[in-house]
Amino acid sequence: METRPPRSRLTRRTFIAAASTTGTVVVAGAPGPTASGEEPARPPGPAAARGDGTTGRVTFTLNGRRTSLVVDNRTSLLDLLRERLDLTGTKKGCDAGACGACTVHVDGRRVNACLTLAVRLEGAEVTTIEGLARHGGLHPLQRAFVEQDALQCGFCTPGQIMSGVACIHEGHARSPDEIREWMSGNICRCGCYVNIVRAIGQAARGR
């Protein structure tokens, strides 16, 4: 599809370190949009040069920052985040809507980024796991996941947390059974469901 733009030389370790000290990982790995909102010299890929209408410019808010870039119409939000914006917290599991690893919030609702075409996001407000921690501290559900040991390999965790935050916000976290039902779009291959449910219950109760 698109060629990969040159990655920044930030390693996973320095990235995490930077993230935990600044409390924001939004721009840590990626050259962010400029003040004008236009992308800096980020190559849009060969597709942009096609000029046959199969690419488009899209402008949206990503973790609180205005972002504007040209995308191949085929690009999913998931691939855009991971492959072009270096926001690799959002994971790709099935790429078909079935596992929830790619869960992000669009206009405040939890959705599967793998089935969301980026070109359709004009004017949208997108929040990823990188944008959840605000003001230097972890989100209460992130803290609850740590306290309840709600992960093993951690691959499903960003999706679980984004889905869990929405689940609580929707008011669907009033009992363990209700949490299980409304979190059924998030699969954990390590089988950490008991602790995931506990963590969401804890955050929902505000503890």
Ligand X SMILES: Cc1cc2nc3c(=O)[nH]c(=O)nc-3n(C[C@H](O)[C@H](O)[C@H](O)COP(=O)(O)OP(=O)(O)OC[C@H]3O[C@@H](n4cnc5c(N)ncnc54)[C@H](O)[C@@H]3O)c2cc1C
Binding residues for other proteins, per CB under 8 A?
1, 47, 50, 52-54, 56, 72-74, 76, 95-97, 100, 103, 109-112, 115-117, 119-120, 122, 163, 166-167, 170, 172, 182-186
114-133 mask for ligand FES (x: CB under 6 A)? x-------------------
- Scan residues 4-63 and list those touching ligand FES (CB under 6 A): none
Burial of 55 (0-12, 13-18, 19+ CB in 10 A): buried
Residue 71 has phi, psi (to 5 degrees) of -125, 150
Residue with tokens 């004017």: 123
Q: What are phi and psi of 69, to 5 degrees?
A: -160, 165
Residue 194 in the binding site for ligand FES (CB under 6 A): no
φ/ψ bin of 116: left (φ > 0), alpha (ψ from -120 to 50), beta (otherwise): beta
Q: The tokens 């004008």 sit on which residue? A: 36
Give the interface segment with ligand FES, choosing from 13-21, 80-88, 96-104, 118-126 (CB under 6 A). Answer: 96-104
Among 23, 46, 97, 191, the residue binding ligand X under the rule CB under 6 A is 97
Nearer to other proteins (CB atom), residue 63 or residue 103: 103
For position 98 contacting ligand X by CB under 6 A, the verdict is yes
- CA 25, distance to chain mean position in Å, is 11
The least distance separating ligand X from the CB of residue 191, rounded to whole angstroms, comes to 20
Residue 95 interacting with ligand FES (CB under 6 A):
yes
Q: Label residue 127 exposed, middle or buried (CB < 10 Å: 0-12, 13-18, 19+).
A: buried
Residues in contact with ligand FES by CB under 6 A are 92-95, 97-102, 112, 114, 151-157, 188-190, 192
